[in-house]
Amino acid sequence: MALRGTFGALALVVACILPTGVVSLWPIPTALETGTTPLTLAPYFNFEVAVPGAPADLIEAVAQAKYYLETDKLGRLVVGRGSNDTLALKGAKSLSSLKLALTEGAKVDSISAESVKPLGTRSEEYILTIPEDGSPATLTANSTLGLYRGLTTFGQLWYYYGGETYTLTSPIDITDAPAYPFRGFALDTSRNFFPITDLTRTLDAMSWVKINTFHWHITDSQSFPLMVAQYPELAINGAYSAEEMYSESDVQYIVAYAAARGIDVLLEIDTPGHTAIIGTTYPDYVACFDASPWATYANEPPAGQLRFALPEVMNFTASLLSSVAKTLPSYYFSTGGDELNTNCYTDDYPTQQQLNATGWTLNDALNIFTETTHGALIAEGKTPIVWEEMVLDWNLTLSNETIVMVWISSEDAAAVAEKGYRIVQAPSNYFYLDCGAGEWLGDDPTGNSWCDPFKTWSEAYTFDPLANLTEAQYELVLGGEQLLWAEQSGPQNLDPIVWPRAASSAEIFWSAQQPGGAPLNVTEALPRLQDIRYRMVQRGLNPIQLQPQWCALRPDACDLYA
């Protein structure tokens, strides 16, 4: 039996069985039934991995799950933190094992291999059953990736007080699968640099909320921290320092670390804009390099964009992108394409000379550039991903397979869908984690953030992935992501600016109801988000406080109209 078939029947039950007893799960499973019987975790609790030839990363994931069970020690978010549960736990049955198994006939592959399959072909669904009588719990899935998702859920079910690890809500029956195949988090490591340990810690946290894509905006105009074997000078001249650089083995390490946690790494080398720093290595390839005033030529300093009309720049860029892309297992690669500034080329002699010589318009040149760079990626088996301007502001011949990220406004999804492209929802008006931090440019004391105000978790949570789309267009939406642009961020504030807010989209794109169903509800969600936030603290992360702890311990008491 394959689980996928099970889901049609279960989908309609969802709205009726929203949890009352269990506030600990994020994202909330597709179908969840709970009881009211206390159940403790036996001191000798163990995982039975009934998977023939279980891959190493599954064994490691089980060991990690066991470690969290032993060390989370999360007190329940009520006054007293569980001290009143002691009585209820007297005489409670103990759970001594969880059996992991694949559905009959399922092919055994590693989590890492499953995690980087094409979108729509990964099997993340699972069934988790925890009886109330202490008999073994079972976790079943079609793939090791599904087992991994189920392990993550299992780890969120347990509270701790006074030496006991327990749930108050057995039996628990969960049948779960994501609503959307793309659930991401995007990080900019160019404006400011993040060491590898920051990335792995972030990947851990992403895995806890079942985010499955790390969109790594690795380079930009300010720095080029990516060491590329074929073009080492780009990082030597473009990284902030030799210490603030990702070596090829660093990238491979991150890709492997991510894949073992169910996460595909979508690398972005933004082109042809956002490339000023390349001019420190290839001055002939970059127009308006560090030109002044920068505001004439770029959205932020320094100015500088690839001279995409020049054949040598087309070839260089295609070669750069493909030489990086071929080292990565993902089927996807982002070529960027946002915020291209035309003033930069109007004033650029080599570009104008080329346009005159060829009779091309700037759009013609960009079209050839994009065909060249995308062609190189497609030749490597990659599907290109671009920012929305590439299809809304320019008239380019892109592959129908191209995926478009909507970022300027959630309103723009409809126009992208109109053109028939698949969509990743990354709208600044809901999902930009950096908004609201004030102006970062110098000499502008009254300036504010361009995308004010701050996007709270709850505002993000109200995002409707299908808004303004026709029913026929719904299938174009692959999912979405929250993003951290790092002009005002670094290792110093990474955890609190990202978490738990980035969990909002993780739940939207895992748990979203089908069209016509009840929308996700911020009031129902907050206690669960508090729960995962406090669990993150127990696991060593530094997620920001959403409210005074007084509120966290008293669900709904701090609601606007409470």
Catalytic residue ranges = 339
Among 6, 97, 323, 488, binds a second copy (CB under 8 A): 488
Contact 509, 462 (CB under 8 A): no
Among 342, 448, 468, 470, binds a second copy (CB under 8 A): 448
462 is an interface residue for a second copy by CB under 8 A:
yes
Question: Hey, which residues does 166 pair with through a beta bridge?
Answer: 40, 159
- Cβ contacts of 146 within 8 Å, gap of 6 or more: 3, 123, 124, 125, 126
- At 38 the three-state DSSP class reads strand
From 96, 176, 89, select the one nearest 137 (Cα to Cα).
96
195 is an interface residue for a second copy by CB under 8 A:
no
Among 91, 442, 471, 472, binds a second copy (CB under 8 A): 442
444 is an interface residue for a second copy by CB under 8 A:
yes
Q: How far lies 281's CA from each of 223, 235, 342, 344, 560, in Å?
A: 12, 9, 23, 19, 55
- Cβ contacts of 552 within 8 Å, gap of 6 or more: 77, 530, 534, 546
Closest distance to a second copy from the beta carbon of 389 (Å): 22
Among 283, 438, 517, 519, binds a second copy (CB under 8 A): 438
- Cβ contacts of 506 within 8 Å, gap of 6 or more: 26, 27, 183, 185, 206, 209, 210, 211
Closest distance to a second copy from the beta carbon of 127 (Å): 32
From 116, 88, 123, select the one nearest 102 (Cα to Cα).
123
Helix 522-538 vs helix 503-511: angle between axes, to the nearest 10 degrees?
A: 120
Closest distance to a second copy from the beta carbon of 345 (Å): 21
94 is an interface residue for a second copy by CB under 8 A:
no
Closest distance to a second copy from the beta carbon of 16 (Å): 23
d(CA 140, CA 151) in angstroms, rounded, equals 10
Token pair for 46: 């163990």
222 is an interface residue for a second copy by CB under 8 A:
yes
**HSE-CB for 424 with a 13 A CA cutoff:** 27
- Cβ contacts of 197 within 8 Å, gap of 6 or more: none
* Cβ distance to a second copy smaller for residue 153 or 189: 189
Contact 231, 285 (CB under 8 A): no
Among 429, 449, 473, 513, binds a second copy (CB under 8 A): 449
* Cβ distance to a second copy smaller for residue 352 or 462: 462
Helix 144-155 vs helix 196-208: angle between axes, to the nearest 10 degrees?
A: 80
Closest distance to a second copy from the beta carbon of 316 (Å): 22
Question: Residues 34-53: x/- map of binding to a second copy (CB under 8 A)?
Answer: --------------------
* Cβ distance to a second copy smaller for residue 122 or 535: 535
Among 454, 464, 466, 513, binds a second copy (CB under 8 A): 454
Among 195, 329, 375, 496, binds a second copy (CB under 8 A): 496
Among 67, 450, 474, 550, binds a second copy (CB under 8 A): 550
Compute how many other C-beta atoms are within 10 angstroms of the C-beta atom of residue 91: 7
* Cβ distance to a second copy smaller for residue 276 or 390: 276
458 is an interface residue for a second copy by CB under 8 A:
yes
d(CA 407, CA 428) in angstroms, rounded, equals 5
Among 491, 515, 517, 519, binds a second copy (CB under 8 A): 491
**Binding residues for a second copy restricted to 233-262, rule: CB under 8 A:** 240-241, 244
86 is an interface residue for a second copy by CB under 8 A:
no
| H or E element at residue 99 | strand 93-102
* Cβ distance to a second copy smaller for residue 109 or 439: 439
* Cβ distance to a second copy smaller for residue 133 or 444: 444
Question: Residues 173-192: x/- map of binding to a second copy (CB under 8 A)?
Answer: -----------------xxx
* Cβ distance to a second copy smaller for residue 104 or 443: 443
Contact 385, 403 (CB under 8 A): yes
**Residue 200 dihedral angles phi and psi, to the nearest 5°:** -65, -40
15 is an interface residue for a second copy by CB under 8 A:
no
Question: Hey, which residues does 128 pair with through a beta bridge?
Answer: 139, 174
* Cβ distance to a second copy smaller for residue 383 or 530: 530
Q: Which stretch binds a second copy (CB under 8 A): 197-205, 377-385, 395-403, 551-559?
A: 551-559
**Binding residues for a second copy restricted to 324-383, rule: CB under 8 A:** none
**Binding residues for a second copy restricted to 379-418, rule: CB under 8 A:** none
**Binding residues for a second copy restricted to 529-548, rule: CB under 8 A:** 537, 542-548
492 is an interface residue for a second copy by CB under 8 A:
yes
* Cβ distance to a second copy smaller for residue 513 or 545: 545
Token pair for 468: 């303004």
Among 109, 380, 393, 487, binds a second copy (CB under 8 A): 487
d(CA 19, CA 16) in angstroms, rounded, equals 9
DSSP output for 146-164: HHHHHHHHHHTS-EEETTE
Number of residues binding to a second copy, judged by CB under 8 A = 75
Closest distance to a second copy from the beta carbon of 2 (Å): 38
**Binding residues for a second copy restricted to 499-528, rule: CB under 8 A:** 522-523, 526
Q: Which stretch binds a second copy (CB under 8 A): 246-254, 354-362, 385-393, 435-443?
A: 435-443
